[in-house]
Amino acid sequence: MDPSQSLTLAFAAFPVAGLAVKFWLATRRVRFVARHRDAVPAPFASTVSLAAHQKAADYTVAKSRIGLAETAFGAAVLLGWTLLGGLSALNQLLVGWLGTGLWQQLALFGAFALIGGLLELPFSLYQTFVVEQRFGFNKMTWKLWLGDLLKATLLGAAIGAPIAALILWLMGAAGPSWWLWARAVWMGFNLLLLVVYPTFIAPLFNKFQPLDDEALKARVTALMQRCGFAAKGLFVMDGSKRSAHANAYFTGFGAAKRVVFYDTLLAKLSPGEVDAVLAHELGHFRHKHIVKRIVMMFALSLAGFALLGWLSSRTGSTRAWASRPTCRARTTRWRCCCSCWRCRCSRTSSRR
């Protein structure tokens, strides 16, 4: 069997195994929540009403079920791209239209991303306008949803196309060590994105105002100082225009770190409750969860690029490989599949 075919089979086995584990864990969770729906846990009986508890249980079950459906669909799509030859057929179609070369490979990346996004749209729509609407959380209008979709698509193309073009160029120009250079570019791009996201990208979707409640600012600053956390600023985001959920988060990297509160959080919770929410986020900092995740992502990217470098070396010299449309397209398709798998893992992690 061809080495790339063996890798494709192994690659396909991972999401199938992962899907089985996720289904097992999620169904256990749903059964547990449903079993305890009719009684508020004793420690919260004095502060949480039965109606609120049941609404939370029903919401958890609904979110879990749509999450399972999305995960199963994503695994099926991934297998369609790989074992069933979806990417190969797409590649051949683009070769027939554009010929071989850099532009065709960029078109393959773009078409892969566009088709994948279109396939996932029904789940996004259902979660926003059915599940969130049913439980009274959705504040999103169709106009705002379409505007977000358009801005995200254009932004993804503007950022992703140059990076993809640079990496594809490195495949043919940097010799046998191209994958090290490509990985360095990818790592630098991700670090840069962490720095510029709070200042340049996030404001394209939401408005951010400095926190002007001096008493709350003093409480929050004191809490952060106790944990050794330093932030460039405290901001309030207009999250209420999209959702009734209340939240707070840290964003940025290094000197660009900032703390963001949803306006719904400040409107609904007391100062002590805001402290509790912030303490949860500070727990991630204290236990270095963010740093660990960044290190894990970089380690996985190194392994992925090393694998692609090994695949290219199996065809002879890098320049010879780069000049072979089939081999180069195969590696590009592998990068598309890896991107798809990484996005699925990222979305699952963000939901947790």
Distances (CA, A) of 332 to 27, 92, 167, 325, 329: 36, 13, 10, 10, 5
Collapse the DSSP code of 213 into the 3-class scheme (helix H, G, I; strand E, B; otherwise coil) and give the result.
coil
Alpha-carbon distance of 347 to 352, in angstroms, equals: 9
120 is catalytic: no
In whole angstroms, what is the distance from residue 274 CA to residue 259 CA?
12
- Name the one residue in this structure whose structure tokens are 């004191």: 222
Joined together, the tokens standing for residue 75 give 């695994």
Long-range CB contact pairs, 3-9, < 8 A, 24+: 3/311, 3/314, 4/311, 4/314, 4/330, 4/334, 7/307, 7/311, 7/334, 8/82, 8/83, 9/83
CB distance 328 to 315 below 8 Å: no
CB 259 within 8 A of CB 228: no
Cα 206 to Cα 27, 174, 260, 262, 310, distances in angstroms? 35, 40, 11, 10, 43
Catalytic residue among 70, 120, 214, 281: 281
318: how many CB neighbours lie within 10 A of its CB? 20
**Cβ 250 vs Cβ 243: under 8 Å:** no
Asked whether the beta carbons of 142 and 125 are under 8 A apart, the reply is: no
Distance separating alpha carbons of residues 259 and 232, to the nearest angstrom: 8
**Is residue 351 a contact partner of residue 128, using CB atoms and an 8 Å limit?**
no
Catalytic positions: 281
